[in-house]
Chain A
């Protein structure tokens, strides 16, 4: 039961261009969405999040867009840099405001982003 889906296992983008990573979800109870970045042999590190009351959140080169009616979110990275090469996980929670997320996060399978020079 894939409640969070990342349909592209990998994505290759040229340095300086825009990277767009997509994520779809099926559980309408999800109200908080996060993107995590993971390098080999390291744990996931938080990148950016968005609450369901917003449709866009921006932090420097990273912007997350949420389309609730389509149950779709995307992460835009612009301009893409070599250090952005990593696996990106989309994650969702239904419990942002109930004390830290007792239900934990539901992760997608990840998209391996490769930035080419």
Chain B
């Protein structure tokens, strides 16, 4: 069964550093998403991406965040200058038109 893959599974970084989280969505999907879950809290929507541009973003997705689809397969989330409160599990997801979202296993980001 096709799946969304995310790398790395764990990322440790120093506060103020840039991080890039990588995702390979399911190949025929057109919509791509990033969500995050801070420990003990709910899964929160960050951003959706369609047709090479951001469709929607939440209040969390401020100027420190950016997304990119650099080639036909990868979808990345960049955090320019990480803060302690960015520590969370970040989930990538993809979907086809009008279909449910498929999630990756997540990248655990720890900002020290």
Contact = CB atoms under 8 A, between A and B. Distances in A.
Interface of A: 34, 36, 41-46, 49, 89, 91, 96-97, 99-110
A103 B41 contact: no
A100 B41 contact: no
B44 interface: yes
The residue among A46, A97, A101, A108 with the most chain B CB atoms within 10 A of its own CB is A101
Contacts of B35: 104-105, 107
Nearest to B34: A104
Contact of B103 (A43, A97, A99, A109): A43
A107 B42 contact: yes
B69 to A, nearest CB: 15
Interface in B46-104: 47-48, 50, 55-56, 58, 91, 93, 95-104
Given A100-B31, A102-B48, A110-B42, A43 B91 contact: yes
Classify the secondary structure of A's interface with B: loop
Interface residues of B, number: 31
B4 interface: yes
Nearest to A34: B100
Given A43-B91, A43-B106, A44-B91, A101 B41 contact: no
A101 B31 contact: yes
B98 A99 contact: yes
Contact of A89 (B6, B43, B48, B58): B43
A44 B43 contact: yes
Nearest to B100: A46
A101 B101 contact: yes
B33 A99 contact: no
With most chain B CB atoms within 10 A of its CB, the pick from A43, A102, A105 is A43
A93 B30 CA distance: 17
A49 B100 contact: yes
Interface in B3-62: 4, 6, 30-31, 33, 35, 41-45, 47-48, 50, 55-56, 58
